[in-house]
Structure 1
């Protein structure tokens, strides 16, 4: 329930909210896109740090391909080149994700203290500064340090940006806004992902970083101009949607009271540090992030999303080498991103369908919406993701004899399944624990990336040891087991989250939150 205060983010005009969400999605999608792009350039970096001119791949792709009788997996030809191992070079793709998770533990609690806007503005500088550094780097160590700086700035995408979307959007539109965040990657892949091999071929991989930094600086300026401060202190009754303020006949929200609260100003829209500082909120957010690790539904989401992150990371590290082994020209590798673009409208349609299912089940439940109503909609993206893992492992293991369309199909399935599942799980998290949304987002985002990093940071070595099919079978089996446990969460989730929220409220009632609103 919004307040009568015109400065309440929920009282912003609808067009103004979506403009802010669009700016956040532009920044977030750009950050996620560069992760995809760097993963696709692993063969280039392997040659670069082995002292071999990357033009070897660009001009003669068959140097890393195989004959039909070899039945190799596309990685063997990149091994033993005299430089760092493939697993060391793939840290350029995987290590920033671990840093991303660590960053959330700092960025979100600080945003609870000083506001969302100053944190995202400061963090928004790091991706393009890191990109400039990476472009000028002269060693693998320096390149890794630059990528870690980027990863720290990208830490806003997984936790802070969804939290800001929660601040701005009502519950029945939140899933659509979150889906826009994940699916908008496809738009940027048209510009950056598909064009990146051409940029590398015609210029160099350094120019790709410099171009990215220029676009990231534009995204940062968009945040400055379009995203207002969104942190707002709300009571438990307001979070529950109760009628806290008098409503006029036929209205479902309070009338704005300009005389009592004043009007929105330019300082409200564009200022920083324009809300009360609450350092105790940072402490409580961090403390609650630790406490909620024991919540059963949180453990389940961390396990499910970590395995998906590990499997997709293994795919990202190897797909370029596999396509090169299939005989693709390096300049055409970016076209594989078209499958992600094709998945984008399906993710958006699924988000709309999820909202419809949640509203339909709420009506059947007497108008009371439960977060668990979202969980049955996970069935389709989970099945599609598992099929994607299986298809990719089979195609990659037999790339010398199967069409590369198999790899592209797998990419589409994993993109659609992963993007839709991420949207549903994020919405479920926020709806389940509205009092401590920042804390649960920090916990899930951080641990998902850290565990996912442990599950894929040596994926190339594991593939060379056990093969694509066996490794992805392990990922698929664990993912399926975690998904099946979701049935238990559906039936017992309300009881468990009530227990968890009760523990948090008991702490608040004892005064550990200094009597403040959430």
Structure 2
């Protein structure tokens, strides 16, 4: 891919800040203004450097007159960096503009990007799979820590046909002799959510300081170590501690995936790549979910951890070998699609030695610290706050359903055999695939179509894609609560269909929300993603860590209606964000954040 491909097209002279890569080291000064649809600059209180006032021809090497023929030299470099458009005269402009350096991650061949994404995707899925699988397996640990052999579940659900009809499954598990409080057992699933949020606040800024690659590898080793510890744990407390350690690594890997992908692909491809990766992870989750009951009955529940740790180790080796460092400094102009031709740029090609190096470039502790501070500052920016809170409500609802789905299935009249409980994760697989299609390819198509008509890809275009996941989450939570409360009147398949709707809502909102905040503040990619990854987990923990007590005391219907109300409350603000999002960005442009 040659950067001249960009500058030899007439649209290369027109760009707006709509894309995002790693925080830019702006050699042209801090291009911090926002622009209206006509390209006028607003909201800047900075004095532009002399370089910003130079004609754009200064960006091209001597002798490249043919490229200059296609450049509107009436625009200064500063103007171009703030007047970009995703579409110009109906032609797509690829943003960000890659540099001339062959080692630029945007210049990676498509095959190499796919291989890197494959190993990163499956490694992330294995690192985090225990989180989703564990929800369906919590009755196993309720028996384990009541000193009852979990293998009794097989006899209990076959010859005895499960718990008696009309009984509360969670209360029954809690009332077993020597059983700990049920919410203590459920900390195995809920506490890791809290740890994910805390870990992301620290490790994502670390990835900005030292690079994505070393943090992914470190996080992966922590996740594998936590899984091995969980497999060897001898008490509930030790098991909970191991799960918390595992979550530190697994949660960071999951959060770094969109961060790394947005370093490697163009803005108009982000929905497709990010949602595609999350969808592909469903393959690993469903395979482990279906096999987990068989492993528990015929081997031991500890082997679930051992097997996931071994498989994660294999894919971690693939990450080490094939995922290069993607941290790359770009000017604001490059981020907005304006190519900068620098004859002095390194022309050294990639090598295996270069790719497997643990770090590249200097360590930038100041940028990492600034990213951490920017995260705290921007949390209350209206758009980020809206997306974070809506995401938090959806993830809490989906987790609450995942934690409580298995006990209901094991109870009469549904009376599922324990060996079939893993099949309850099939709706998650279907939801993941649907997410990849609907909020991936079609979301990009929708956003790009609207951008083509408007002339630029405004972040609020993504809110159109947010509507379907939100509606699905609301409908799913209502159906799940009603069916769980009245199992004699409804099919177990309707119960699981509702679980799938909530999973689609959560996964879809996750993808769309990440792309939306990236496009709102392209120079704050790290802090924007940390806000979603961290605070949604912290809030989701608060909303879901005692869901077992709520279901036991209030029932499925009332408990799920609480989540429905919370989601609906935040969803009502979607039209407000649609109409006022652009003016909010002008009011809070974050012009002094990001590029320090």
TM more than 0.5: yes
Question: What are the within-5 Å matches in structure 2 for residues 458-497 of structure 1?
Answer: 458-497=546-585
Q: Distance in 2 between matches of 1:342 and 1:161?
A: 21
User: CA 1:314–1:442 in structure 2 vs 1: closer, same or farther (change >3 Å)?
Assistant: same
Contact 1:229 1:268 in 2 (8 A): no
2:98 and 2:339 in contact (8 A); partners too = no
Say which is worse superposed, 144-153 or 261-270, in terms of deviation: 261-270
2:323 aligned to 203, 214, 227, which one?
A: 227
**Which structure 2 residues correspond to residues 444-459 of structure 1 after superposition, within 5 A?**
444-459=532-547
Q: Please say which of residues 109-118 and 397-406 is displaced more in the overlay.
A: 397-406
Please name the residue that 1:344 is paired with. 432
Task: Tell me if the contact between 1:73 and 1:399 (Cα under 8 Å) persists in the aligned partners.
Answer: no
How many residue pairs are counted as aligned between the two chains?
495
Q: Is the 8 A contact 1:5 1:262 kept in 2?
A: yes
Deviation at residue 340 of structure 1 after TM alignment: 2.1
Q: Are 1:201 and 2:297 counterparts?
A: yes
CA distance in 2, matches of 1:114, 1:152: 18
1:238–1:402 Cα change, 3 Å? same
Corresponding position of 1:169? 265
Q: Tell me, what secondary structure is at the counterpart of 2:99?
A: coil
2:162 to 52, 60, 65: 65
Matches within 5 A, 1:307-346: 307-325=393-411, 326-346=414-434
Aligned equivalents of 2:352 and 2:344: distance in 1? 16
Within the alignment, does 1:393 sit opposite 2:481 as a pair?
yes
Indicate the SS of the match to 1:467.
Answer: helix
- The Cα offsets for residues 94-114 of structure 1, whole Å up to 9 and x where unpaired, read as 101110110111111111111
Asked if 1:263 corresponds to 2:360, the answer is no
1:249 aligned residue: none
- RMSD between superposed Cα atoms in Å: 1.7
Q: Which residue of 503, 514, 517 maps to 1:429?
A: 517
Note if 1:273 corresponds to 2:273.
no
Distance 1:135 1:64, change over 3 A: farther
TM-superposed CA distance for 1:498, in Å, is 3.4
Pairs within 5 Å for 1:25-36: 25-36=121-132
* CA positional deviation for 1:88: 0.4
Q: Which residue is 1:420 aligned to?
A: 508
Q: Which moved more, 1:393-402 or 1:346-355?
A: 393-402
Match of 1:213 in 2: 309
Rate the CA distance shift 1:508–1:358 in 2: closer, same or farther, 3 A.
closer
* Distance across 2 between alignment mates of 1:48 and 1:148: 19
Task: Answer yes or no: is 1:7 the counterpart of 2:93.
Answer: no
Aligned counterparts of 2:383 and 2:161: Cα–Cα separation in 1? 45
Answer yes or no: is the 8 Å Cα contact 1:190–1:338 preserved in 2: yes
TM-score by length of 1: 0.92
Equivalence for 1:250 = none
Deviation at 1:260, TM superposition (A): 4.4
CA distance in 1, matches of 2:545, 2:433: 31
Q: Measure, in 1, the Cα distance between the counterparts of 2:378 and 2:254.
A: 17
Deviations 1:182-215 (A, max 9, x none): 2123211232111001110111101111111111
| 1:78 and 2:173 aligned | yes
Equivalent pair of 2:219/2:253 in contact (CA under 8 Å): no
| Residue from 345, 364, 376 that aligns with 2:453 | 364
Question: 1:91: Cα distance to partner?
Answer: 0.4
CA distance in 2, matches of 1:422, 1:413: 14
For structure 2, which runs of at least 5 residues remain unmatched after alignment?
1-96
Q: Please tell me whether the aligned partners of residues 514 and 532 of structure 2 are also in contact (alpha carbons under 8 angstroms).
A: no
Residue pair 1:46, 1:83 contacting (<8 A) in 2 also = yes
Shift of 1:507: 5.1
Report what 1:125 is aligned to. Answer: 221
**1:280 CA displacement:** 1.0
Are 1:102 and 2:188 counterparts?
Answer: no
C-alpha separation in 1, matches of 2:548 and 2:592: 47
Q: Is the 8 A contact 2:156 2:162 kept in 1?
A: no
Measure, in 1, the Cα distance between the counterparts of 2:230 and 2:298.
19
CA contact (8 A) 1:64 1:321 kept: no
Q: Return the alpha-carbon distance in structure 1 between the equivalents of residues 299 and 252 of structure 2.
A: 31
> Which residue of structure 2 lines up, in the alignment, with residue 152 of structure 1?
248
The alignment's TM-score, normalised by the length of structure 2, stands at 0.80
**2:80 counterpart residue number:** none
1:407-433 deviations in Å (ceiling 9; x for gaps):
221122122222222111111111111
Measure the CA separation in 1 of the matches of 2:394 and 2:375. 22
1:238 corresponds to: 334
Partner of 1:40: 136
Q: What is the Cα deviation at residue 466 of structure 1?
A: 1.6
What CA distance in whole angstroms lies between the structure 2 residues aligned with 1:179 and 1:508? 26
Instruction: Give the Cα separation in 2 of the matches to 1:343 and 1:454.
Output: 25
Q: Distance in 2 between matches of 1:345 and 1:80?
A: 39
Q: Name the one with the larger helix percent.
A: 1
TM-superposition CA deviations, 1:486-516 (whole Å, max 9, x none): 111111111213333x3x323568xxx2xxx
